[in-house]
Amino acid sequence: AVVAPAEGEHARRIEKTVTDTLTSFDFEGGITFTLLSERCLDAVISISFNRHSTDNIDWDQKAIACRSQLYKSLLQDGYFPYRLDISMMQYLAEHSCPQYEQVLQELKHIFDANNLLSPGRYITHRKV
């Protein structure tokens, strides 16, 4: 799930990136756009497949590769996730921009100055 300005241009860019990426991995795209406010929308993206398919394709691994490419493409376009599963936290830390990481570090300091909550999980320890 990524957030973006609530403008048609951004919804179209996200839809194109998602559709292009998912179809390149032989998945059908599924996107739900929700207006969070008059200025912000979110896009929840689904990668759906038949886990019990008998076609000798490891769809789980293919979905993981697709998800990684999807995050990479969306991050390059400036769209950041507002939710991630634990396995993608390090990926985000390695591929996000310094400004995004700075915001995360500032929020972490405000809400958890003693680093008690999930130390090391949501931000890296490098200085930006």
Alpha-carbon span 2 to 109, nearest angstrom: 24
Domain of residue 114, residue span:
97-128
Same domain assignment for residues 20 and 55: yes
CA dist list (Å): 100 to 44, 103, 117 = 20, 5, 20
CA dist list (Å): 5 to 36, 78, 87, 91, 111 = 10, 11, 27, 24, 25
| Entry pTM | 0.78
Could you report the per-residue pLDDT of 43-65, keeping only the tens digit for each? 999 999 888 888 888 999 999 99
Predicted local distance difference test score (pLDDT) of residue 34: 96
Predicted local distance difference test score (pLDDT) of residue 128: 44
Same domain assignment for residues 13 and 54: yes
Same domain assignment for residues 119 and 65: no
Could you report the per-residue pLDDT of 60-114, keeping only the tens digit for each? 999 999 999 999 999 999 998 888 777 777 777 777 778 878 888 898 889 998 9
Specify whether the CB–CB gap between 3 and 77 falls below 8 A. no
Number of structural domains found in the chain = 2
Same domain assignment for residues 78 and 126: no
